[in-house]
């Protein structure tokens, strides 16, 4: 069975995960049956879907009405009736192996022979679940993250006997519902994301248990110095300290004393009012910037990187899959393998060896793959190779924060590819844009477009976490990215759909033209952080908007609508979403079919003339006009006009 053959999806379990998965499938156009053991549970799940769809509709995030989507969802209590029409079954029942095995044995009997049977388990063995069936080849894991409606990642997990055809169908189906799948090619405990995330809390807990650091110090260091969205103890309190405890216990791993103490005292985190922080009588996580200046953050990251190396070396997942997984599933500021390459794999190996010598614990034993890479001299970015490759031409280099393509018309389309962080501008993203624009052959390009991945933002600003460890002196010069875009010798257009804020707005301002959907929003929120725009925003806004409006935008830090942005002259067009592609295409067609030399000279004269006196600017214009008079493009344009046809400019 292929993904195209899937028409009906049955979800077993109407709890938070089950009803979320059912909603996502129905929103993607599938007929869905939502089943649980009691009518009241199913009713609650359906009502949660109804409420969620209503909220999404209020925000304009649905392409259909809630009623149309709900009409595709049936509910059931009888398992056989629920399973019978299914082409794909996704089990989201409680995490008990005996229960899941009983369910899968029944599901195999109740479904047709080609139906795919999937478990949403986050911790149990797919191989063991499949052993309850006579057709384990059609069993796989589809591990959604909570909440399924918001979280983009789905791990597609092989059991020992899962066929490639089954896994590929599962992967394609996940893409069909608008989610991002990653393959987990072997049934390992924790799969990909939780395997890599485990040492984040585990090693931090060992450090506190040994008196080597304080809870607040570690959380502050990992958030403010290393850019993680939460500290390890703050995260444990959110998810439940007992959850991590039971995962370690079931896996037969040593448990840090501080974790055992919290479980014994039933101080399990937010849900009990107290965990590593006090939520009843205290303020919860109360760490501050500067609290963790002396914390050895590499000790924690080295263990996570070591887990990633094990996954790669054992053929469980690729570096790209791991990086996608931790970004989308755990909210990491960048991929773990990518970060490892920046740190240097030799430094990581040295840290693990040092820790193993000091403590003699198995958790520090370096992965064979990590040792192999270091022995081969593939230690990361500085060595041009590590987990990832950093060499080659533009069409060979591996970019992680952007995607790009050059079509046969000469249109270079660049996509900011960080949708999980609303395409926030990171140091890596800026470096990759500069690298791309320096490597491409300008003679092959007629124009450039920039857009943001996903449907929420062009770019919502700078990735504050990504700049967490940057020294002030390192950012006192304007990033070459903004100037490289501004000075690129071809017209550059920003395709804006969603938020365009802070550094994202500064990137759009560096472009020559800006077209936006009418639902987009613009602003300079830096002042709310005690900062000012640092990518040329203050100066470009002055020149585009004038002093009054530029200062309002910068001083107040508020958002303005696309309509106001168009009225102010900040953007060229604000158009309804259903007209956006057509309007952008018209702009791009004019740029791609225009005279390359003429457009280059026009851009140069206008950019340089902006800062010159009128007399000097007019002289620039005259020089440019004279230079163009002798070109083949001018002759072609003149002849085409006389012959009443469209010109065909060659750029000569």
Residue 258 in tokens? 């501080």
CA 356, distance to chain mean position in Å, is 34
CA gap 239, 459 in Å, rounded: 29
d(CA 199, CA 206): 10
On whether the CB atoms of residues 25 and 175 are closer than 8 A, the answer is: no
For 236-265, letters b (16+ CB in 10 Å) and e give bbebbbbebbebbeeeeeebbebbbebbee
Token pair 């077993």 is at which residue? 12
What are the DSSP calls for 551-589, one per residue?
HHHHHH--EEEHHHHHHHTSSSEEE-HHHHHHHHHHHHH
SS3 (DSSP) at 358 = helix
Taking Cα atoms as reference points, which of 233, 241, 244, 232 lies closest to residue 200? Answer: 232
List Cβ neighbours of 81 (8 Å cut-off, separation of 6 or more): none
**Which pair of structure tokens corresponds to residue 489?**
């010798």
Q: Which of 8, 143, 224, 400 is catalytic?
A: 143
Pairwise CA distance, residues 199 & 228, whole Å: 14
Q: What is the DSSP letter of 134?
A: S
- Is there a catalytic annotation at residue 48? no
Quote the CA–CA distance of 279 and 270 in Å, as a whole number: 6
User: Rounded CA gap, 598 and 489, in Å?
Assistant: 11
Residues in the chain: 652
Spatial distance between the Cα atoms of 34 and 41, rounded to a whole number of angstroms: 10
Q: From the candidates 122, 125, 195, 479, which is the catalytic residue?
A: 122
219's torsion region: left (phi>0), alpha (psi -120 to 50) or beta? alpha
Which residues on adjacent β-strands are paired with residue 153? 180
Q: Which residues pair with 158 in a beta bridge?
A: 140
Q: Identify the DSSP state of 224.
A: I
Are 153 and 328 in contact, with CB atoms under 8 Å apart? Answer: yes
Verify whether residue 224 is a known catalytic residue.
no
CA distance 192 to 317: 7
Q: Which residue has the tokens 């693990």?
A: 352
Catalytic residue among 8, 52, 91, 155: 155
- Concerning whether 155 is annotated as a catalytic residue, the answer is yes
Contact between 460 and 499 under an 8 Å Cβ cutoff? The reply is yes
Which candidate in 48, 125, 194, 486 is catalytic? 194
Encoding tokens for residue 77? 């209590």
**Three-class SS of 80-92:** HHHHCCCCEEEEC
Catalytic site residue 369? no
Active centre residues (catalytic): 122, 143, 155, 194
């Amino acid at each position: 069975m292929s993904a195209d053959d899937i028409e009906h999806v049955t979800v077993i379990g109407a709890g938070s995960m089950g009803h979320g998965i059912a909603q996502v499938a129905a929103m993607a156009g599938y007929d869905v049956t939502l089943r649980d053991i009691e009518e009241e549970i199913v009713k609650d799940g359906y009502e949660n879907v109804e409420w969620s769809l209503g909220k999404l509709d209020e925000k304009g995030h649905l392409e259909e009405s809630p009623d149309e989507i709900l009409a595709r969802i049936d509910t059931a209590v009888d398992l056989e009736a629920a399973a019978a029409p299914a082409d794909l079954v996704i089990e989201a029942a409680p995490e008990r192996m005996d229960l899941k095995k009983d369910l899968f044995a029944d599901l195999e009997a109740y479904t047709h022979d080609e139906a795919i049977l999937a478990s949403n388990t986050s911790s149990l063995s797919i191989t063991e679940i499949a052993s309850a069936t006579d057709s384990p080849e059609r069993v796989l894991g589809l591990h959604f993250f909570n909440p399924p409606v918001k979280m983009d990642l789905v791990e597609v997990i092989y059991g020992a006997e899962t066929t490639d055809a089954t896994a590929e169908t599962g992967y394609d189906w996940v893409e069909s519902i608008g989610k991002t799948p990653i393959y987990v090619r072997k049934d390992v405990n924790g799969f990909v994301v939780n395997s890599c995330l485990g040492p984040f809390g585990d090693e931090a807990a060992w450090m506190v248990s040994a008196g080597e650091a304080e809870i607040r110090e570690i959380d502050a260091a990992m958030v403010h110095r290393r850019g993680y969205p939460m500290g390890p103890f703050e995260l444990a309190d959110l998810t439940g300290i007992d959850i991590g405890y039971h995962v370690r216990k079931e896996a037969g791993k040593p448990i840090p004393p501080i974790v055992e103490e919290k479980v014994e005292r039933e101080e399990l985190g937010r849900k009990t009012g107290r965990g590593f922080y006090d939520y009843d009588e205290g303020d919860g996580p109360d760490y501050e910037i500067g609290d963790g200046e002396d914390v050895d953050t590499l000790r924690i990251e080295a263990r996570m990187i070591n887990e990633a190396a094990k996954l790669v070396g054992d053929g469980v997942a690729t570096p790209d899959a791991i990086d996608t997984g931790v970004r989308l599933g755990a909210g990491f500021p960048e991929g773990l393998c990518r970060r490892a390459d920046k740190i240097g794999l030799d430094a990581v190996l040295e840290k693990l060896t040092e820790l193993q010598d000091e403590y003699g614990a198995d958790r520090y034993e370096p992965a064979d793959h990590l040792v192999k890479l270091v022995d081969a001299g593939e230690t990361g970015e500085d060595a041009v190779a590590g987990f990832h490759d950093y060499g080659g031409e533009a069409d060979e280099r591996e970019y992680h924060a952007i995607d790009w393509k050059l079509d046969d018309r000469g249109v270079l389309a660049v996509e900011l590819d960080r949708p999980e962080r609303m395409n926030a501008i990171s140091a890596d993203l800026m470096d990759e844009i500069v690298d791309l624009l320096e490597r491409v052959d300008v003679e092959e390009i007629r124009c450039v477009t920039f857009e943001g991945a996903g449907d929420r933002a062009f770019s919502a600003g700078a990735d504050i976490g990504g700049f967490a460890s940057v020294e002030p002196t390192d950012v006192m010069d304007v990033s070459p990215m903004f100037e490289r875009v501004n000075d690129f010798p071809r017209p550059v257009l920003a395709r804006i759909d969603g938020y365009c804020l802070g550094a994202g707005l500064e990137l759009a301002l560096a472009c020559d033209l800006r077209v936006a959907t009418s639902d987009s929003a613009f602003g300079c929120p830096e002042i709310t952080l005690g900062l000012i725009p640092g990518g040329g925003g203050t100066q470009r806004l002055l020149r585009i908007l004038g002093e009054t409006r530029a200062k309002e935008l910068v001083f107040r830090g508020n958002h303005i609508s696309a309509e106001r942005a168009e009225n102010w002259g900040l953007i060229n067009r604000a158009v309804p979403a259903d007209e956006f592609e057509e309007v952008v295409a018209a702009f791009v067609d004019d740029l791609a079919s225009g005279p390359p030399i003429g457009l280059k000279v026009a851009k140069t004269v206008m950019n340089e003339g902006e800062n010159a006196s009128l007399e000097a600017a007019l002289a620039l214009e005259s020089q440019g006009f004279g230079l163009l008079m002798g070109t083949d493009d001018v002759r072609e344009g003149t002849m085409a006009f006389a012959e009443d046809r469209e010109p065909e400019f060659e750029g000569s």
